[in-house]
Amino acid sequence: MSPASKLLVDIHTHVYLPRYAALLRSRAGAAAVPFIRTNTTPEGLAEDRLLILDHEPSESLTSWSEKLKFMDKHGIDVSVVSTANPWLDFLPASQAHTLAAELNDDLEQYCSTGPSVSSSTQIKRLYGFGLLPLVPEITTSALLEIVNQISTLPHLRGLIMGTRGIGNGLDDEALEPVWAAIEKAGLVVFLHPHYGVDGSAWGDKDNGHVLPLALGFPFETTTVSSKYHFSFRIRPQREMKAATRLILSGVFDKFPNLRLLLAHSGGALPALSSRLASCIDHDPAVASRLKHDARYYLGKLYLDAVTYGPEELGFVSDVISRSAGYASVASVSKVANRSTGSKRMLFGTDHPFFPPLSATEKWKSVTENLEAIASVQGWSKGDKDGVRGRNALALFNLQG
Ligand code: 5CU
């Protein structure tokens, strides 16, 4: 077994728990996604097809027990698993509340009864992100109750959430007690897209789901949008406000110890952060709202390393490391130190999404991300080991 400092830890990996899959199966005849429909294959076998996004080719449903097999095949020691999109977003408040509590218990049960990494460590192979019932009309007390539940389940180390909040996005003041409770409990928030952005930008050509996934998902993470219609291609019901809406709302000034992990390396935010800072500086409505230059807040974030390329990883780590130089106007050094930025980046696979189109021994979506980490110019061996696993052990407090 590798020593703890060499463990490979996957922090972006999803599951559809049996209870959740049963709910989707019960919606087989529903007019709108999400649902699971059982098809018959040409060989006459029953096959579950999962549809979570309008117009998207359906994904194969990966069974819960396949997770460990997938990990073994790719040498992944530990996974911090999360329920995949669209979480509980489509449910009425009371059902979302009950189901969140049940699914959190289910996930704890699975992780706690799963194997350990080895007989000489107490580090388990599975940990999880819980779910909050973030839907319109949910009460603050219900949300706080579930934050508290997650914080008492030892194998749940955070929670995953989409970008809608309780209907008005994540910069909604109504969420402030929730951020406060999450910060106090020390839980990591994994912020993940589902709705994409205005589908009319994708044009009329059939490009499969390349544009919504390659651009729409990361743009959604960048903007932290809200009130998008469930479809990839239907116009949003309301124009999105600004990106980075969480930064603009001052969440990190109010909750400086909030630990936010962004999917897909933060989307376009690293590339746009200096432009964002400049726009803030030149806008009378917000110029004096934040305590720091916008670039400072990027250093508060954690980002998955799901970029598939070493140049992108290097660039993102430069931007993250540079943020310390923006702590105050008087800061002396704004020089990027790639190594410092790497400490906030964590390996992920996005399993069960992006399966290979034809049978291969290993998934390219996994090997490409591992090769990217191995090839970043300016990252030391220690930095790379950090991104592969040690950073996750520290962030999620996983100890042997
Ligand atoms: O790229 C991804 O993260 C995903 C995901 O999580 N869910 C999905 O439906 N497609 C792609």
Q: pLDDT tens, 257-309? A: 999 999 999 999 999 999 999 999 999 999 999 999 999 999 999 999 999 99
**Residue span of the structural domain in which 67 resides:** 4-17+62-395
Rounded CA gap, 359 and 353, in Å?
15
Pocket of ligand 1 (CB under 6 A): 14, 52-53, 84-85, 213, 217, 350, 353
Cα 383 to ligand 1 centre (Å): 27
Rounded CA gap, 213 and 229, in Å?
16
Q: How many domains does the chain have?
A: 1
Rounded CA gap, 17 and 24, in Å?
11
Radius of gyration of the chain (CA): 20
Nearest residue to 73 (alpha-carbon basis) of 304, 356, 399: 356
Q: Identify whether 302 is part of a domain.
A: yes
Cα 48 to ligand 1 centre (Å): 18
**Average pLDDT over the chain, rounded to an integer:** 89
Helix axes 310-322, 364-374, angle to 10 degrees: 60
Q: Does the structure show a pLDDT above 80 at 238?
A: no
Q: Identify whether 100 is part of a domain.
A: yes
Beta strand ranges found along 228-360 (DSSP E): 259-262, 301-304, 345-346
Cα 353 to ligand 1 centre (Å): 6
Let me know: does 273 contact 300? Beta carbons within 8 Å: no
Q: Given this model, what pLDDT does residue 1 score? A: 52
Q: Given this model, what pLDDT does residue 40 score? A: 87
Instruction: Report the SS3 class of residue 40.
Output: strand
Let me know: does 231 contact 271? Beta carbons within 8 Å: no
CATH, residue 183: 3.20.20.140
Structure token pair of residue 338: 């790639």
Mutate to test the pocket of ligand 1, among 213, 303, 307, 351 (most ligand atoms within 8 A of CB): 213
| Of 17-21, 223-227, 236-240, 344-348, highest mean pLDDT | 344-348
Q: Identify whether 38 is part of a domain.
A: no
Strands 301-304 and 259-262: parallel
Nearest residue to 246 (alpha-carbon basis) of 272, 227, 222, 277: 222
Let me know: does 161 contact 262? Beta carbons within 8 Å: no
* Residue nearest atom 10 in ligand 1 by C-alpha distance: 353
Cα 13 to ligand 1 centre (Å): 10
Mean pLDDT to the nearest integer, 66-85: 95
Q: Which residue reads 């990839």 in tokens?
A: 232
Mean pLDDT to the nearest integer, 180-188: 98
Q: Does the structure show a pLDDT above 90 at 139?
A: yes
Q: Identify whether 326 is part of a domain.
A: yes
Cα 208 to ligand 1 centre (Å): 14
* Residue nearest atom 2 in ligand 1 by C-alpha distance: 350
Rounded CA gap, 225 and 243, in Å?
7
Lowest mean pLDDT among 80-94, 105-119, 333-347: 333-347
- For residue 263, the ligand 1 atom closest to its alpha carbon is 3
Lowest mean pLDDT among 59-63, 73-77, 383-387: 59-63
Rounded CA gap, 274 and 295, in Å?
6
In this structure, the number of other CB atoms found within 10 A of the CB of residue 149 comes to 17
Q: Does the structure show a pLDDT above 90 at 43?
A: no
Rounded CA gap, 361 and 377, in Å?
28
- For residue 209, the ligand 1 atom closest to its alpha carbon is 10
Cα 85 to ligand 1 centre (Å): 7
Q: Which residue reads 């590798």 in tokens?
A: 2
Strands 345-346 and 188-191: unpaired
Kindly report the CA angle at 126 between 125 and 132, in degrees rounded to 5?
Answer: 165
Let me know: does 17 contact 103? Beta carbons within 8 Å: yes
Q: Identify whether 46 is part of a domain.
A: no
* End-to-end Cα, the chain, rounded Å: 13
Q: Identify whether 160 is part of a domain.
A: yes
Q: Identify whether 23 is part of a domain.
A: no
Q: Given this model, what pLDDT does residue 330 score? A: 60
- For residue 12, the ligand 1 atom closest to its alpha carbon is 3
- For residue 56, the ligand 1 atom closest to its alpha carbon is 9
Mutate to test the pocket of ligand 1, among 217, 306, 308, 363 (most ligand atoms within 8 A of CB): 217
* Residue nearest atom 11 in ligand 1 by C-alpha distance: 353
Q: Identify whether 42 is part of a domain.
A: no
Cα 190 to ligand 1 centre (Å): 13
Rounded CA gap, 351 and 63, in Å?
12
Rounded CA gap, 128 and 116, in Å?
14
Q: Given this model, what pLDDT does residue 224 score? A: 53
Mutate to test the pocket of ligand 1, among 353, 354, 365 (most ligand atoms within 8 A of CB): 353
Mean pLDDT to the nearest integer, 80-90: 96
Q: Does the structure show a pLDDT above 60 at 237?
A: no
